[in-house]
Amino acid sequence: KNEVEQSPQNLTAQEGEFITINCSYSVGISALHWLQQHPGGGIVSLFMLSSGKKKHGRLIATINIQEKHSSLHITASHPRDSAVYICAVRSYNTDKLIFGTGTRLQVFP
Amino acid sequence: NAGVMQNPRHLVRRRGQEARLRCSPMKGHSHVYWYRQLPEEGLKFMVYLQKENIIDESGMPKERFSAEFPKEGPSILRIQQVVRGDSAAYFCASSPWSGPEEQFFGPGTRLTVL
């Protein structure tokens, strides 16, 4: 079993829909990252959080430390949001990033 | 303030050749991380370096792979005698200090071994 699990693996949506991507982890962490990887392959850091909730534009990330779970929400989704979204946790013990396998999102107009 | 730079962006090598991948961290960042993304797989940690020091290389294959981050110049990931299984995207990321800080990723180098 992977230490970081994401769901769903693939997600399609119509423009304007509300999107939720989930991440569960099984190790102790000092922080959790949400990353975006576009079809061209570049990786952009969206959020780093260790508690609570963060918001940036149409993106919202939440984390529940007790339940070892995080969610990434996209409000009013747009075709340009189409990308792979990756959850990564920073292991408290090893200080290394452990990555989920990503959620491939396609938003159609 | 330029972001993390990697070059080359694409590298083609024949089996048995050497591959050198370069990463220039963001200005002011002294911590560099290398990650590998095999085709259709997730990112995996390879090595964590500070200037002139390897802090954690637990993700590096035991043979043929090495990394350095000299006092001057970019960080280098070196793969000797490449094999087809080395074909992957190699990303580096940098941060200003250690601990749970945001890491800024470079655009990656896509290595293809023929």
Render B66-98 in DSSP notation, one character per residue. EEE--SSS-EEEEE-S--GGG-EEEEEEEESSS
Read off the tokens for A60. 């919202």
pLDDT given at position B99: 64
Per-residue pLDDT, averaged over B7-31, amounts to: 95
Q: What are phi and psi of B6, to 5 degrees?
A: -130, 140
pLDDT given at position A32: 95
Read off the tokens for A7. 């769901």
B100/A30 touch (CB, cutoff 8 Å), yes or no = yes
B101/A48 touch (CB, cutoff 8 Å), yes or no = yes
The rounded distance, in Å, linking the Cα atoms of A103 and A29 is 21
The string over A39-71, giving b where at least 16 C-beta atoms fall within 10 Å of a residue's C-beta and e elsewhere, is eeeebebbbbbeeeeeeeeebbbbbeeeebebb
**Alpha carbon of A48: minimum distance to chain B alpha carbons (Å):** 6
B100/A35 touch (CB, cutoff 8 Å), yes or no = no
Q: By the CB < 8 Å criterion, does A83 face chain B?
A: no
Q: By the CB < 8 Å criterion, does B87 face chain A?
A: no
Instruction: List Cα–Cα distances, A44 to A61, A93, B8, in angstroms.
Output: 15, 25, 19
CB proximity under 8 Å: B 44-83 to A: 44-45, 48, 56, 58-59
Q: What is the DSSP string of A47-64?
A: EEESSEEEEETTEEEEEE
pLDDT digits (tens), chain A, 109 positions: 689 999 999 999 999 999 999 999 999 998 999 999 987 778 999 999 999 999 999 999 999 999 999 999 999 999 999 999 999 999 887 778 899 999 999 999 9
pLDDT bin (cut points 50, 70, 90) of residue B96 is: confident
B42/A99 touch (CB, cutoff 8 Å), yes or no = yes
- pLDDT tens track for B60-95: 998 999 999 999 999 999 999 999 999 999 999 998
A43/B91 touch (CB, cutoff 8 Å), yes or no = yes
pLDDT given at position A92: 82
Contacts of B28 (CB under 8 A, 6+ apart): B96
Q: By the CB < 8 Å criterion, does B29 face chain A?
A: no
Query: Which of A25, A38, A43 is most worth mutating to test chain B (most B CB atoms within 10 A of its CB)?
Result: A43
Handedness of CA B27, B33, B36, B41 (dihedral sign): negative
| pLDDT exceeds 90 at position B101 | no
Handedness of CA A59, A61, A104, A20 (dihedral sign): negative
Per-residue pLDDT, averaged over B39-66, amounts to: 92
The rounded distance, in Å, linking the Cα atoms of A67 and B16 is 48
pLDDT given at position B100: 62
Task: Using the structure block, give the residue that is written with the tokens 């940098």.
Answer: B94
| pLDDT exceeds 60 at position B1 | no
For residue B11, what is the enclosing H or E element? Answer: strand B10-13
Q: Which residue of B has its CA nearest to A33?
A: B102
Q: What is the mean pLDDT of chain B?
A: 92
pLDDT given at position A4: 95
Q: By the CB < 8 Å criterion, does B40 face chain A?
A: no
The rounded distance, in Å, linking the Cα atoms of A98 and A23 is 12
Residue in A43, A50, A102 nearest the CB of B105: A43
